[in-house]
Structure 1
């Protein structure tokens, strides 16, 4: 497939890019600055300057953009809506590196992980910003998208186990009572989901089995 990764030099974006390259997909890294990935093709451009013309030839566009400064939380929503606008009415599917705060903890889908007392206070601004963006994405019937949430504990320096499950938008713990996934396993499962070509306009999540 022809895959573009927005913010490809970020931590998650880089791993997803490199994994897709290893699987022989034609990958373009979209970056603002120097490319730090294994992608053979590079488009150096700001996310907000991207247009339909830039993205129309791709089968998949991966949105790995993220911000953590509390004053920038609206960028989660505006950036995602900009990419959805660029892909509106096309067959190109937008795969989003999402957050765990939006996972539901009840079968009625009323309460989300971010609403629990155990959710870290320092992570709530990011979670709220990402939930707002996801809520608006759910309203977009004009674009094809898949929102990929990690488990509750998203471990940057975690090891690659290759032992993970792709599930729906409900919070899940493994047999050890943990909800976790390493960035490396997340990247593997993310590309698995892209290759499966069976998800559309849904939120999915990934957790480590042990």
Structure 2
């Protein structure tokens, strides 16, 4: 399988690259600077370059976009809007945030205790989720949301999947990466969002 990872040198992207390589897949690692990542074909790419992103998606079996765009959230919204309009034909997965997960039909970022420091990012990815849910049905998107807390920890290989509500408080970046590459193989969540938590012993 040919897998592309856009944002390949980030906290999550680097683990996705490692997981894909461990399964002997051919990986193209896209970063803004074209940083060389061992074991991959490394390429410079900006998420705002819609034609290049669509070309990457169309030339791989599965593409992961894990770009937080914290320096310009509006640019992220615009980039995903443009990508939807470009209508790439390949399968791709966007790493979203946990803030748009729901409890009793209320998004986490709308709850009183949601940390204000993460509000703008959470609302941005909530808007991106809504964009994809309104996309034409021939756009083969998936969105993966982590648990409310995600950090490098232990690769347990044991995780819980959910859809729109949290299924745990924490997921390791390693287990999140396993779930994403499993999705590449199993194709279980086409045109919908899923969430992942590390299964607690």
Q: Identify whether the pair has TM-score above 0.5, normalized to the shorter chain.
A: yes
In the superposition, the TM-score normalised over structure 1's length comes to 0.86
More displaced 10-residue stretch of structure 1: 5-14 or 49-58: 49-58
How many residues matched? 197
Q: Equivalent residue for 2:42?
A: 42
**Where do 4+ consecutive residues of structure 1 move more than 4 Å?**
none
Distance 2:70 2:179 in 1: 24
CA contact (8 A) 1:18 1:37 kept: no
What is the root-mean-square deviation in Å for CA atoms of aligned residues? 1.8
Q: Equivalent residue for 1:17?
A: 17
Unmatched segments (≥5 aa) in structure 1: 174-178
CA contact (8 A) 2:17 2:29 kept: yes
Alignment of 1:40-189 (within 5 A): 40-51=40-51, 52-69=54-71, 72-86=72-86, 88=87, 90=89, 92-106=90-104, 110-141=105-136, 142-155=138-151, 157-173=152-168, 179-189=169-179
Q: How has the CA–CA distance of structure 1 residues 12 and 82 changed in structure 2, closer, same or farther, with 3 Å as cutoff?
A: farther
Match of 2:185 among 170, 195, 199: 195
Q: How has the CA–CA distance of structure 1 residues 150 and 36 changed in structure 2, closer, same or farther, with 3 Å as cutoff?
A: farther
Q: How has the CA–CA distance of structure 1 residues 73 and 53 changed in structure 2, closer, same or farther, with 3 Å as cutoff?
A: closer
CA contact (8 A) 1:98 1:150 kept: yes
